[in-house]
C-alpha cells in the first residue's frame, strides 16, 4: 500500500495477529518482525502482550534485543501492551532473575501486579485525549508503580493505579485494547509514526 505507514509487530510470542489485524484495519502496512533486517524496514514497532521473559529471551536469541534498544533510543515510535509495556519500561520490579527490558519509557513497572490469569478482569477507563471511555482487558497485567519526569500518565484505575502512559513517541498500556476491538491507541501510535 503506497503511502501507508510501515509498522512492525514484534512476532516472537504473544498476541501478534490481533495487533496486526487492528493495524491493517487502520491502513498500515504491517511487517511481522523476527529478525533485525525486518526491524530495519519499519518506521514504528508494536511490542505485544504475551510472556515478557519469553519475548525478551527470544529477542536476545534472534539478535533483536540490541537493534530494538537502538531503534527506541533513536526515536522510533513504539507501542507496548501488557508484556510489551514491561519490555519498554526502564525499570521492572518482580522480574525474572536475568530479565532485561529494552527500556526507553521513563516508568517503573511491576510484573503480574493484578495476580494470576484467573484474576484477569475488564473495566472501563477514561484516557486523556479520548472522547469516550475505553473498554480495557487486563490479563496477568503489570501496573505502573511510578512515572518519571519524561513520561506522563494518560490513564488510571479508580484507585489511582496508573495503567496507560505516553512519552513523546512511546506509548504503553497495562491492558490489551486489541482484545476488545479498541483501535484508538493504535491510531495514536500511527499518528506518531506519520509525524516522525
pLDDT in tens, 178-191: 988 899 999 999 99
Q: Would you give the end-to-end CA distance of the chain in angstroms?
A: 19
pLDDT at 1: 45
Q: Give the active site residue among 178, 182, 186, 192.
A: 178
Into how many domains does the chain fold?
1
pLDDT at 167: 98
Q: Give the active site residue among 18, 19, 166, 176.
A: 176
Identify whether 62 is part of a domain. yes
Q: Would residue 192 show up in a list of annotated catalytic residues for this protein?
A: no
Give Cβ neighbours of residue 148 (< 8 Å, ≥ 6 apart).
90, 106, 107, 108
Identify whether 69 is part of a domain. yes
pLDDT in tens, 139-154: 889 999 999 999 999 9
Identify whether 86 is part of a domain. yes
Q: Would residue 74 show up in a list of annotated catalytic residues for this protein?
A: no
CA distances from 31 to 36, 169, 179 (A): 12, 19, 20
Which grid cell sits at 96? 525474572
Identify whether 1 is part of a domain. no
Identify whether 71 is part of a domain. yes
Q: Give the active site residue among 19, 56, 82, 166.
A: 82
Instruction: Work out the percent of the chain whose per-residue pLDDT is above 70.
Output: 96
Range of the domain at 110: 6-195
Q: Is the model's pLDDT at 118 over the cut of 70?
A: no
Q: Would residue 176 show up in a list of annotated catalytic residues for this protein?
A: yes
Least confident residue range of 43-52, 107-116, 168-177 = 107-116
Mean pLDDT score across all residues of the chain: 93
CATH of the domain at 182: 3.40.50.880
Amino acid at each position: 500500500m503506497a503511502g501507508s505507514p510501515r509498522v512492525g509487530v514484534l512476532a516472537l510470542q504473544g498476541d501478534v495477529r490481533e495487533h496486526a489485524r487492528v493495524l491493517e484495519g487502520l491502513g498500515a502496512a504491517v511487517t511481522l518482525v523476527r529478525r533485525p533486517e525486518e526491524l530495519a524496514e519499519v518506521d514504528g514497532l508494536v511490542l505485544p502482550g504475551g510472556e515478557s521473559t519469553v519475548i525478551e529471551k527470544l529477542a536476545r536469541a534472534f539478535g533483536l534485543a540490541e537493534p530494538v534498544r537502538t531503534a527506541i533510543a533513536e526515536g522510533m515510535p513504539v507501542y507496548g501492551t501488557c508484556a510489551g509495556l514491561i519490555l519498554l519500561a526502564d525499570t521492572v520490579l518482580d522480574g525474572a532473575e536475568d530479565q532485561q527490558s529494552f527500556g526507553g519509557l521513563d516508568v517503573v513497572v511491576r510484573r503480574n501486579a493484578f495476580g494470576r490469569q484467573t484474576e484477569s478482569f475488564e473495566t472501563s477507563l477514561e484516557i486523556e485525549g479520548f472522547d469516550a471511555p475505553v473498554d480495557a482487558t487486563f490479563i496477568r497485567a503489570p501496573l505502573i508503580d511510578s512515572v518519571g519526569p519524561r513520561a506522563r500518565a494518560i490513564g488510571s484505575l479508580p484507585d489511582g493505579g496508573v495503567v496507560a502512559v505516553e512519552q513523546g513517541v512511546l506509548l504503553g498500556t497495562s491492558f490489551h485494547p486489541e482484545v476488545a476491538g479498541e483501535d484508538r491507541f493504535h491510531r495514536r501510535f500511527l499518528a506518531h509514526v506519520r509525524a516522525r
